[in-house]
Structure formats: C-alpha cells, structure tokens
Structure 1
Amino acid sequence: MQTTLRARIRDGDSEAFGHLFDAYARSVYNHAFRLVGDWSAAEDIVSLTFLEAWRLRGRVDPEGGSLRPWLLGIATNTARNTRRAARRHAAALARLPRDEDVRDIADEVAGRLDDTELLAAVRLALDTLRRGEREVLALCVWSDLDYATAAETLGIPVGTVKSRLSRARKKLAAAARDREPRRRPGQVKGGRTPAAWPAQEESR
C-alpha cells in the first residue's frame, strides 16, 4: 500500500527506500537525460537525487499517492545545480593559461560522442528552450504529469505551467520546420531525398 510505503520511508526504512529506487530510478533517469541531454550526467543526477531524497525523507507526508512527482522535483533541482556547477567549472578552466603545444581534442571527442544526427537535432531543438520551458515539457509531456502536479513539483502556478508548455511547443515546432530538408535545385516535388535520417535514437 502506497501510504504504508510513505510512512516507512519517512521513518528511515532502508528496505522501503530500496523499493522506491527500484520503482522510479528509470523514470528519474529518463527525466534527467531530457533535462541535460547527456547520459553520463543523467546517471550522476539519479545518484544525487536519491541521496537527496534520503536526506529529505522526514519531509514526506505519510498520506498521499505516488512519490514519483516528489522525486522528479528533486531531480529537476539537482539538474539545475549540476548545470550551474558545470558552468562555473568551464569558466574556471577558460581562465587557465593554455599550453599551445598540446592539441585540444575536446571538440573531437565530443563530436564522436554526438555523431548520431537525430539525437543532435533533438538537442539543438531543446537548446532553443529556456530552462523553465524545458522543465515543464519534461514533466508534462515526457513524464506525463498533469498541470497541477507539475506546478506543485516546480513550485509555480498552474497558469505558468500552461504558458511555458505552450511556448515550448511553439519553439519546438519552429525548430522542426527549420530542420526540414530543402529540395536541391532541379529536384522535383515528391522526388526521392538523397539520404534518410537515422531511424533509431540512442537508447540505454
């Protein structure tokens, strides 16, 4: 029974917390990836999310339904903190003197990791969104939370959730139109395109 699980987690029952992890780790992982666009970073966010959930277990209301929205809210905050830390780290590295004799292969490595054209296109589209728009999209569309639950998870009004989601959808639609292949000179309408997009997106 869900209420019993909540009460056990609140009381620090490690076995109940293990059940919570087994039930929602994949959901948290998928949500984290949609926010940061990186598999390795998403794994770190999952670990940090459940560590933080354990720390905050005393705040869990013994009565209520699924704890999934609570975990997704923690994951959202963790992703924000992770991005801020990454920006600070990058800024610190940029201030360091560079050895001109050492070839910088970071871009080359990143290019190999992100060489799946479809995944790259999705990331480019998501980059057009503000942080709040991406968070609402991830919760309402990909994680299937209703407006009220998403609003409670993010600590914002329901109207803000709706407006951010509307803006996100419009931006993604515009980005998709911009990515549509253009016909080459002389190519007839309805003719065969020179190459097909990859059929599969990387999955884990």
Structure 2
Amino acid sequence: MTAAGGTNEYELWAWAVEGDAGAFGEIFDLHRDRVFGHALRALASRHDAEDVTAIAFLELWRHRRRVRVVNGSIVGWLLVTTNNVCRNQARSARRYRLALAKLSPDPSHPDPADDAGVGIDRARRAPGVRAVFAQLSARDQDILTLCVLEELTTAEAALALRIPIGTVKSRLYRAKSRMAELLLTAAPEAREGWSL
C-alpha cells in the first residue's frame, strides 16, 4: 500500500516505530476503516466498534517495536489485535451485565426501558453468524478473520500469526468445518450470511 504522499506503508511504519506521530497518523488513516469495519462485524455496535478501533491503534502504538510487518503492511497484526480487543470487550460487557443482574431493582420506580431491553436481549439471543463466530476459539477467529473475512493469502496469514503455512491451511480447514458445524445447529437465518 502507498500512502497519500507516495510513501509506502513500510517506510511510514519505520518512521512511526521511531516515534514519528505524523507517520503514525498516516498509518491510522490507511487502516482505520478496515479495522473499524472488522470490529463492527464482530460487535454490531458502531459505538463499541469505535472504541475497539481506538484501543487497537493504542495497542499498535504501545507495542510498535514488536509489531510484525507482513508484505510491507501491519494490517494482519491490527486485525488479530482487533479480535483480541473485541473478545475482551465482550467479556467485560458480560461481567457488567451479571453484576447489574445481582443488584435488586427498586420496585417503587419501574424502569420504562425494561420493555425495550427485553426486546434487545431477545434479538441478541437470536442465533446468527456473529453469535456463531463468537463461539469459535480465538485461534479459529483469527484464522477466519485473516483468510476469509480479510482475504489475506495463507502465506500472509502465516507471517502475521508467526506459524508455518501448512499450519494455517490445516487451521483454516478446521475453523471452516467448525463454523459450518455450528451454523448447522443454528437457525436458518444464521446460515444465509455465511458461505464457506
């Protein structure tokens, strides 16, 4: 990829690693939409996807000296980090909901949002591709993100994940099989949005 000024991403990243905030800003502009889109697919909430995008780029800055560049791009590292942040956010939200559920409501003041909340909870419980994807292991999510959703080659995914190409191929096959298996047990509407 080439940035707006004709500088390639590898050069920009080298400058960013040395602390050049302008170069990091260009890297952000280059990958922001892709990271946000991936987070939105995983979470289905624009607000949460924006938070995840910000956290992913914060982690990119914090770990810039250890980030692996694959074929002149850091997008593989960013997408795997986005998956990790999404999983962390989902765990935090689950813990928060459980903590709220333990609080006893004040019966004298019914909350008018309760009816809306019940509807939202029902919709979230409806099986779908996102829900099935969330049931997969972190390894399966990462391999499907890189090879299926973001269409990286198996060689690029191998470099990003620091594993052999053969391992990527076998993990990809198993992840697709596991996803198909889970989708078969889910409702028909979950299968409509996914093709292997």
TM-score, normalised to structure 2, is 0.70
Tell me, yes or no, if the aligned pair for 2:17 and 2:65 is still in contact at 8 Å: yes
Per the TM alignment, residue 88 of structure 1 is displaced from its structure 2 partner at its CA by 2.1
Identify the match of residue 14 of structure 1 among 11, 18, 21.
Answer: 21
Q: Does 1:98 align with 2:105?
A: yes
Q: Which residue of 2 aligns with 1:186?
A: none
TM-score, normalised to structure 1, is 0.68
Aligned residues: 178
Identify the match of residue 47 of structure 1 among 44, 49, 54.
Answer: 54
Q: Provide the C-alpha distance between the structure 2 equivalents of 1:170 and 1:152, rounded to a whole number of angstroms.
A: 23
The superposition leaves residues 116-166 of structure 1 with CA deviations (integer Å, 9 ceiling, x where unpaired) of x9xx64334435533432232111101112334334444556555434422
1:88 alignment partner, SS class: helix
Per the TM alignment, residue 46 of structure 1 is displaced from its structure 2 partner at its CA by 0.3
Q: Provide the C-alpha distance between the structure 1 equivalents of 2:100 and 2:170, rounded to a whole number of angstroms.
A: 37
Structure with more helix by fraction: 2
Q: CA RMSD in A?
A: 3.4
1:27-46 aligned at under 5 Å gives the runs 27-46=34-53
Q: Which residue of 2 aligns with 1:185?
A: none
Tell me, yes or no, if the aligned pair for 2:41 and 2:130 is still in contact at 8 Å: no
Q: CA, structure 1 residues 32+155, in 2 after alignment: closer, same or farther (shift >3 Å)?
A: farther
Larger-Rg structure: 1
1:52-201 aligned at under 5 Å gives the runs 52-60=59-67, 65-100=72-107, 102-103=110-111, 104-105=114-115, 106-110=117-121, 121-154=128-161, 158-174=165-181, 175=183, 179-180=187-188
Q: Provide the C-alpha distance between the structure 1 equivalents of 2:87 and 2:184, rounded to a whole number of angstroms.
A: 26
Per the TM alignment, residue 52 of structure 1 is displaced from its structure 2 partner at its CA by 1.7
Structure number with the bigger relative contact order (C-alpha 8 A, sep ≥ 6) is 1
User: Which range is displaced more, 157-166 or 66-75?
Assistant: 157-166
Q: Which amino acid aligns with 2:41?
A: R
Unaligned 5+ segments in structure 1 are 182-198
Per the TM alignment, residue 15 of structure 1 is displaced from its structure 2 partner at its CA by 1.4
Q: Identity rate of aligned residues, in percent?
A: 37
Per the TM alignment, residue 73 of structure 1 is displaced from its structure 2 partner at its CA by 2.7
Tell me, yes or no, if the aligned pair for 2:13 and 2:24 is still in contact at 8 Å: no
Tell me, yes or no, if the aligned pair for 1:6 and 1:60 is still in contact at 8 Å: no
Tell me, yes or no, if the aligned pair for 2:9 and 2:27 is still in contact at 8 Å: no
